[in-house]
Amino acid sequence: MEAYKVAGDAFKPTVTLDQENGVFAFSGRSIPENATAAFEPILNWWSEYLQTPNKETVIDLNFDYINSSSMKQLVKLFGMLDEANSKATAVKVMWHYSSDDTDSKAQASRLSKMVKFPIKIVADTTK
Amino acid sequence: MSQLSEKSFVFDLFEDMQRNNLNYIYRGFFTQSITDNIILLTEANMNSVVEDSKIKKRVFTILVEGLQNVTRHQEIDGKEASPNQSGIFIIQNQNERYYITTGNPILKANIPKLTRQLEKINSLSPDDLKKFYKEVLNDNVISDKGGAGLGLIEMARKSGNKLDFDFSEINDNYSYFYMGTTVLVNEDMVADAPAEKCSMDAIKAIHKTINDQDIIIIFNGLHTQDSLLHIISIMEEHLMNKDVNFRKKMIYCIVELLQNIVKHGKKDTNATKGVFFISNSNNEYQLNTVNYIPNSSVEHARTALERVNQMSDSELNEFYDSNLAKDENVKDGLGLTEMRLRTQHKINYLISPVDDKTSAIFIQVTI
């Protein structure tokens, strides 16, 4: 299926969703006022992808800031992934955070309690 | 709660900001990046009001010169001025005119010279002002702070109006210097039409309040994505020396609070009126919002705030998780819960009735 690529700005993250190359990545800020609208094309892409997914789906998340309404959309995405996980594809999320940003780490542990697929929390020192 | 009752000044401040159409106030140390963002913030705000690019340019010139004046003169005895002596920048947009006020401490000894300069500038016709500009430029008399009064002349030329100024004593050696510059949005307006601008006295009174309350920044007006972005940039710069966790907590709460205003505030035509300000006292920062809500929402707001304030940590976590998983995201208190969890402080609030339809709500988050 066609890759979804959007360059981020001060409000929305850079997103690369590329089934062919197995690249699924989000980075930057996600603080839009209307997160539902901002995430709609992304969630649509995922629901199509999950009909015929790759054997493995490794998602890199590297958020600088994410507002609460974006978190909600992310949880929605995680719900979709959780449902597909181990049936159609093996899902794994890599949660990157700047090593001194303990709040981001806490956010990841919170999310990992809500899903069955593994969320690996990776401390980056370069960020 | 006794402390909170002292906070009722916020409603007066809110009313003052509305009445005088004050858009934006920054008080503190001015760096290049802060002034850049003030300019961008003004631009974002101006784009929704002014179409004429010539007027925009005039406002910019005055902003740049005015802010550079503050940057140059914000030191006292070679040191950064103490908080109640630091620079100030105020922008007001009212009745087709922008009114820009800058303020900074100056040595009392320099008052006569500065007064003479300003009085001379104010006495000149536009043509004479142009000649004077060239004269000063050629004379090349540079003051020890790098200026030659050129900036002031340039501001007067772009403004087409007299420069207002005033002094107020700080101590034996220093006074505070205020300068106000007008730009008319509509050139056909008579420049000397009775000014409904904020008087220097009103500016000084507001300055006193924000000094007393240790307020760093006030933003009043249309809360849009663009303005949010510039507030974030200014605060990131302001907090440069703080650790990343603290900075992020701040930014998270700023985002949630401002979006909260947009989501719940009473809409006036299409915009949500509200004031956002940041204060810094007792080694803590307070993020504050004041906005109108319809009386019909007062109970809902009170309930939501009391609920998050009374919950224990584990209850908050549970509430947050269950809310995240809920489908609809209207008025769910997710933002409030997030702020409570992140700051580990109760959320202060006050609600004050305005009339039979509207109340004003003040929300304060401490970090």
pLDDT, tens digit, for every residue of B92-115? 877 778 889 999 988 899 999 999
pLDDT of residue B97: 81
Alpha-carbon gap: B73 to the closest alpha carbon of chain A (Å): 33
Q: Please choose, from the candidates B353, B366, B362, the residue with its C-alpha nearest in 3D space to the C-alpha of residue B6.
A: B362
B327: pLDDT strictly greater than 90: no
Residue to substitute from B324, B341, B342, interface A, most A β-carbons within 10 A: B324
d(CA B328, CA B332): 8
Q: What is the DSSP track for B148-194?
A: -SHHHHHHHHHH-SPPEEEEEE-SSSEEEEEEEEEEESSTTS-TTSP
| Shared-domain flag, residues B120 and B72 | yes
CATH code of B320's domain: 3.30.565
List the single residue in A33, A103, A113 with the smallest CB-CB distance to B259. A33
Considering the domain architecture, whether residues B253 and B292 belong to the same structural domain is answered as: yes
- Average confidence (pLDDT) over B121-135: 90
Least CB–CB distance from B245: residue in A69, A75, A103: A103
Q: Are residues B276 and B314 in the same domain?
A: yes
Same domain, B11 and B27: no
The stretch B207-226 carries a mean pLDDT of: 81
Residue B145's CATH number: 3.30.565.10
Is residue B219 in some structural domain?
no
How many domains, chain A?
A: 1
pLDDT score of B84 more than 70: no
Choice among B98-102, B187-191, B192-196, B243-247 with the minimum mean pLDDT: B192-196
Compute CA B70 distance to the chain's CA centroid, rounded to the nearest angstrom: 15
pLDDT value for B351: 94
- Name B322's Cβ contacts closer than 8 Å, sequence gap at least 6: none
Look up the pTM and report it: 0.81
User: Is B94 inside a domain boundary?
Assistant: yes
Q: Is A55 helix (H, G, I), strand (E, B) or coil?
A: coil
The mean predicted confidence, pLDDT, of chain B is 82
> Could you list the residue range(s) of the whole structural domain that residue A116 is in?
4-124
Residue A14 Cα, gap to closest chain B Cα (Å): 17
**A45-59, B113-127, B268-282: least confident range:** B268-282
* Domain count across chain B: 2
Inter-CA distances, A49 with A14, A16, A80, A94, Å:
19, 13, 11, 19
Residue A67 to residue B256, Cβ atoms within 8 A: yes
Residues of A in CB contact (< 8 Å) with B are 10-11, 31-33, 35-36, 65, 67-69, 71-72, 75-76, 79, 98, 100-104, 110, 113-114
Does B292 map to a domain?
yes
Nearest to A101 among B244, B317, B335 (CB): B244
Q: How confident is the model at residue A22 (pLDDT cuts 50, 70, 90)?
A: very high
Interface with A, mutate which of B232, B247, B259, B328 (most A CBs under 10 A): B259
The listed range with the strongest mean pLDDT (A2-16, B12-26, B258-272) is: A2-16
Residue B188: pLDDT band by 50, 70, 90 thresholds?
Answer: low
The pLDDT tens digits of the residues spanning B48-80 come to 666 677 888 888 888 888 888 888 777 666 565
Count of CB pairs separated by less than 8 Å, A with B? 63
Q: Which residues contact B217 (CB under 8 A, 6 or more apart)?
A: B25, B26, B27, B28, B231, B234, B235, B238, B277, B278
> Is residue B2 very low, low, confident or very high in pLDDT (cuts 50, 70, 90)?
very low
CA B109 to chain centre: 30
Q: Do A72 and B252 touch (CB under 8 A)?
A: no
- For residue B201, the one-letter residue type is D
Decide if B223 is inside a domain: no
Interface contact B255-A65, CB threshold 8 A: yes
**Cα of A81 to nearest chain B Cα, Å:** 14
**Are the beta carbons of A68 and B256 separated by less than 8 Å?**
yes
Kindly state whether residue B146 falls inside one of the protein's structural domains: yes
Burial class (CB in 10 A: 0-12, 13-18, 19+), B210: buried
Q: A11: distance to nearest CA of chain B, Å?
A: 8
Measure CB to CB from residue B251 to each of A65, A72, A79 and give the nearest one. Answer: A65
Percent of chain B with pLDDT over 90: 26
> Residue B83's pLDDT is what?
57
Query: What residues in A contact B325, CB-CB < 8 Å?
Result: 75, 79, 114
Q: Is the pLDDT of residue A6 over 90?
A: yes
> Does some domain include residue B217?
no
Instruction: Say if residue A97's pLDDT is above 80.
Output: yes
Q: Does A114 sit within 8 Å of B324, measured CB to CB?
A: yes
Average pLDDT over residues B349-359: 92
pLDDT of the residue at B75: 66
- Nearest CB to A98 within list B244, B323, B326: B244
Contact yes or no for A68 and B334 at CB 8 A = yes
- Residue B231, min C-alpha distance to chain A (Å): 12
Residues B289 and B357 in one domain: yes
pLDDT for B210 beyond 60: yes
Measured between alpha carbons, how far is residue A7 from residues A46, A95, B176 in Å?
18, 20, 47
Can you give the CATH number for the domain in which A117 is found? 3.30.750.24
Q: Which structural domain, as residue segments, surrounds residue B349?
A: 1-20+229-367
Query: What is the model's pLDDT at position B235?
Result: 83
Q: How many Å is the maximal CA-CA distance in chain A?
A: 38
Looking at residue B121, what is its pLDDT? 93
**Rg of chain A in Å (alpha carbons):** 14
- The residue among B86 and A22 whose pLDDT is bigger is A22
Lookup: tokens for B36: 């850049």
Give yes or no: residues B263 and B149 share one domain: no
**pLDDT at A127 (0 to 100):** 44
